[in-house]
A and B are shown apart, each in its own frame.
Chain A
Amino acid sequence: MKPVSPFLRLHEPTATVRLTWEGEEIFAAPGDSLAAALLAAGVDTFRASPVSGAPRAPYCMMGTCFECLVNVDGRPAVQACMTEVRDGMVVRRQRGGAEVNDD
């Protein structure tokens, strides 16, 4: 998969990190934030607003706006911009508000 992304890398990565987005494999560079890696891979909708259902994507890229929330390895509402990519990460779109469970 090589979707067109409006984001270009300054340097081609010398190593790659593999992760999946909505079940599809994508490649990132070590040290990428998850938000940067997804944007570079052409992902343009990270989550749906729990209020209106409207699509959302990263805005501040520094942990403030909470627009970039995704589900990482089953954990809901993770801030992609504050999370570093790891090999084998399973990342999915955040749909609706986070579920918090009683145990």
Chain B
Amino acid sequence: MDTDYAIIGGGVVGLSVAHGLAGLGRRVTVLDEGDNAFRASRGNFGLVWVQSKGLKAPTYARWTRKSATLWREFADDLAEGAGIDLSLHQHGGYDFHFSEQSLEDRVRTYEALKADLGGDYPYEVLGHNALKRMEPHIGPKVIAAILHHEDGHVNPLRLLRALATEAGRLGAKVRTGAKVATVQPDAGGFRISLENGHQIAAGRLVICAGLGAATLGPQLGFAAPVRPERGQVLITEKLAPLMNRPSSKVRQVDEGGVQIGDSHEDVGFDDGETLEITAQIARQATDTFPALGRARLVRSWGALRVLTPDGLPIYQQSTVHPGAFLVTCHSGITLAAVHSRLLPLWLEGRADAPDLETFSETRFAVSSAA
């Protein structure tokens, strides 16, 4: 065997898993397609986010919160090992509301989840005046915000670099320009053939290939029901401090630029950007912080996120070819801490592994058979 584990996909998800496995002393090889791939990591918003996740799935809400609570130590370890500060801030985050109705609807869903979580869901509603004291630049159209105290954000570019650096320091090999053509079981492990003609023999294999899972997964018995969802993102010039906490639609990154996003489009494999969506998300941001109307945009781009039918992650070992795993999710930044710290225990089949049964892809079996 060339390696204990081959990880297909060198984005945030693949590198988080590789980092964790390398930390357990496993030999790990990460196979990354390269910059022509539809990288979901490119569409991330840098959030370590708890509120609104798992509203209808308390197990997912717990998994998300587990990651958020592990993030501080995870970031500190990466900073120490890789020498890269991730600028993690977990001082809460906002969900802004422009009407009483949307606020009431949202609070009702949060209260239901809070009950499911035994009353432990630390959020509060800030009316306009209370919000204005915390965020002096907030606009008059924002009637209220939900502040969830477990939310936060991080510098995702430095996260990716730190993961690659630290995984490498722990012995993992990261191969770029290594697009996988085929995967097949072979001699008690797996044989991976790259498009460039190289072959790799791995004891175990983890597909963290985002949308690529749809073609690689079925080769090893996975259904891998993932589809693309386009998100467009804008970023302004670097500005003096304008806001103190992030939201899922607008945040000021640690270096001063304001990132604006949160579009959801079903347009297939098209990661371009459009003026219509640019205008729509920019208007949403200036309705929230009117001063942004004076800021200049320096970049806009589109990226394809990875969605499962219910929006929750899939963690699945192949029933046909044990030793092959499928890992895919929508929130690779938030989940990076559990993907590095806990998921490797599950891959290793250890007794102290988290129970991930509810994230099995067999949950889709009924609907896909119908």
A residues apposed to B, CB below 8 Å = 50-51, 66, 69, 77, 96-103
Contact = CB atoms under 8 A, between A and B. Distances in A.
A96 B137 CA distance: 19
Contacts of B256: 50-51, 97
Contact of B240 (A51, A69, A97, A103): A97
A97 B291 contact: no
Contact of B239 (A51, A99, A102, A103): A99
Interface stretch (B61-69, B185-193, B294-302, B331-339): B294-302
Contact of B291 (A51, A77, A100): A100
Nearest to B252: A97
Interface in B224-252: 237-242
Given A100-B239, A100-B242, A102-B137, A77 B296 contact: yes
Interface of B: 137, 237-242, 255-256, 290-296, 298
Contacts of B291: 100-102
Contacts of B296: 77
B237 A77 contact: yes
B256 to A, nearest CB: 4
A52 B298 CA distance: 20
B298 A99 contact: no
8 contacts: A50-B255, A66-B298, A77-B296, A98-B237, A99-B239, A100-B240, A100-B292, A102-B290
Contact of B294 (A51, A66, A69, A100): A100
Nearest to A51: B255
Contacts of A77: 237-238, 296
Closest 4 CB pairs of A and B: A97-B256, A100-B291, A100-B294, A97-B238
A66 B238 CA distance: 10
Which residue of A50, A66, A101 has the most chain B CB atoms within 10 A of its CB atom? Answer: A50
Mostly, the A contact residues are loop
A55 to B, nearest CB: 15
Given A50-B238, A66-B237, A77-B237, A98 B295 contact: yes
Contacts of A101: 291, 294
B294 to A, nearest CB: 4
A102 B142 CA distance: 15
Contacts of B294: 100-101
Contacts of B295: 98, 100
A12 B191 CA distance: 69
Nearest to B242: A100
A99 B237 CA distance: 11
B240 A98 contact: yes
Contacts of B240: 50, 96-100
B136 to A, nearest CB: 8
Given A97-B238, A100-B294, 12 more contacts: A51-B255, A77-B296, A98-B237, A98-B238, A98-B239, A99-B239, A99-B240, A100-B242, A100-B291, A101-B291, A101-B294, A102-B291
Contacts of B239: 97-100
Contacts of A98: 237-240, 295
Nearest to B298: A66
A8 B240 CA distance: 36
A70 to B, nearest CB: 13
B152 to A, nearest CB: 20
Contacts of A103: 290
A51 to B, nearest CB: 5
A98 B241 CA distance: 9
A101 B294 CA distance: 8
A103 B291 CA distance: 8
Which residue of B238, B290, B298 has the most chain A CB atoms within 10 A of its CB atom? Answer: B238
Contacts of B237: 66, 69, 77, 97-98
Contacts of A100: 239-240, 242, 291-295
A99 B256 CA distance: 11
Which residue of A77, A96, A97, A102 has the most chain B CB atoms within 10 A of its CB atom? Answer: A97
A99 B238 CA distance: 9
A51 B155 CA distance: 13
Nearest to A98: B239
A91 to B, nearest CB: 18
A2 B34 CA distance: 50
Nearest to A49: B238
A51 B238 CA distance: 9
